[in-house]
Amino acid sequence: GENVEQHPSTLSVQEGDSAVIKCTYSDSASNYFPWYKQELGKGPQLIIDIRSNVGEKKDQRIAVTLNKTAKHFSLHITETQPEDSAVYFCAASKGGSQGNLIFGKGTKLSVKP
């Protein structure tokens, strides 16, 4: 089955710096790659996603890149702010009716003011 590896497990940056979180997946049939942000005591919330027919997607300060050949995808956060501090999860799935998400183990991002 699918296996998703996520690195680093913790990341500390200064406010205004960029943060990058990387994930690799094992199943070449996976075609949907979402990123979730989880704040303390809350459920995960989708922040951005990408499908396998796209190499890069951007939404304001957040971007995701996908390399299908290498089977890895990354989350990029620019101009980080203290409110970006949270745990971030990557996931992979085959999409559609096979939409079971396989999650990475998470990255705890701390943005220091």
Do strands 107-112 and 10-14 pair parallel, antiparallel, or not at all (unpaired)? parallel
| CB nearer other proteins, residue 1 or residue 113 | 1
Q: Are the CB atoms for 6 and 104 separated by under 8 Å?
A: yes
Binding to other proteins (CB under 8 A): which residues in 44-73? 44-46, 49
In this structure, are residues 3 and 14 in contact, taking their beta carbons and an 8 Å threshold?
no
Compute the distance between CA of residue 113 and CA of residue 67 in angstroms, rounded to an integer: 33
Which range binds other proteins by CB under 8 A, 11-19, 61-69, 75-83, 98-106? 98-106
Number of residues that bind other proteins (CB under 8 A): 26
**Residue 79 Cβ vs other proteins, minimum distance, rounded to whole Å:** 26
| Cβ–Cβ < 8 Å for 80, 20 | no
For position 9 contacting other proteins by CB under 8 A, the verdict is yes
- Per CB under 8 A, residues contacting other proteins are 1, 6, 9, 32, 34, 36, 41-46, 49, 89, 93, 95-97, 99-106
